[in-house]
Structure 1
């Protein structure tokens, strides 16, 4: 079954659902989980005086979010680790696909916000990118 499960985590309700499901699957298969967060530095580097502070705050916040997810994983008894994926200018799907290959993941688990219409056009669909580009099966969780 799935022994190496990569979980995309952004702190949202759907990524929390994805984390819980990944932990259940890993526990049943005597597997392990890697929790990843894709941090796009380019989104925070503005060139303005406060740009570096905004970047530092966002990076710290993302790190704290990953730490909390790792605590949840460890309290469940499933072996887990975390990794911040920071590849400037790369698309989410590319970054996650590369990490899945490098870590030899069997499954990627991701939450999706289920945006449609103009929201999807303006904000894009990170989960859709992951589904299209992942080298392994993807389990996606939609918002309730």
Structure 2
């Protein structure tokens, strides 16, 4: 294992997985890649109905200013992770735009990762049905092994 990709977000679940991923990388002498995926928020835009009356509709439009703010927030988050956990390791970082799980899998290919480390919210039942499972999607479609790091029950609260 020469390269480990770690999924980063602003949750305690991800923070737990990040710590695990950095510890593993240190033990293996592996380079670390950090990836944060931003899901663009579609904006409402007035469209012309053809009869002179504008209507509001959701279109695939994302304001460049919002994307810049999201990019800056992502870079700040990754900087905090590097400051907290990076102790001389070779660290690369990526910000992807799109669905989270697909972004992680695509980044693993670009980074030529040998392994992916992600956290899990441990959702079950209807919550998982409605929210989906990023970790499950990554495991299913990853070209490399995936370690899914659960949060210890006592730390979830």
Give yes or no for TM over 0.5.
yes
| RMSD between superposed Cα atoms in Å | 2.0
Trace 1:1-144 onto structure 2 (pairs within 5 A).
Answer: 2-41=1-40, 44-47=41-44, 52=63, 55-74=67-86, 76-86=87-97, 88=98, 91-144=99-152
**C-alpha separation in 1, matches of 2:16 and 2:32:** 14
How many angstroms does 1:54 deviate by? 5.1
Structure 1 residue runs of 4 or more that deviate by more than 3 Å after TM superposition: 51-59
Structure 2's unaligned 5+ residue stretches are 47-61, 153-157
Aligned residues: 136
Q: Which of the pair is proportionally richer in strand?
A: 2
Task: Give the alignment's TM-score, normalised by structure 2.
Answer: 0.76
What is the TM-score normalised by the length of structure 1?
Answer: 0.83
Q: Once the 2 structures are TM-superposed, how far is the Cα of residue 114 of structure 1 from its aligned partner? A: 0.7
Relative to its length, the structure with more helix (as a share) is 1
Q: Unpaired runs of 5+ in structure 1?
A: none
